[in-house]
Amino acid sequence: MQDILYLHTRVNSLTSDILAMRSVTNGQISDGPENPDDWPYQSVLEAIRDGWRVIKFPELALMMDESRTYGLGFEFILER
Could you say whether residue 33 binds other proteins (CB under 8 A)? yes
Cβ(63)–Cβ(9) under 8 Å?
no
Nearer to other proteins, 8 or 80 (CB): 8
State which residue, 31 or 50, has the beta carbon closest to other proteins: 31
Q: Is 72 in the site for other proteins (CB under 8 A)?
A: yes
Which of 8, 12, 72, 11 lies closest to 41 in space, CA to CA? 8
- Spatial CA neighbour of 8 closest among 39, 29, 34, 35: 39
- The contact set with other proteins (CB under 8 A) reads 6, 8, 10, 18-23, 29-34, 36, 39, 63, 66, 68-73, 75
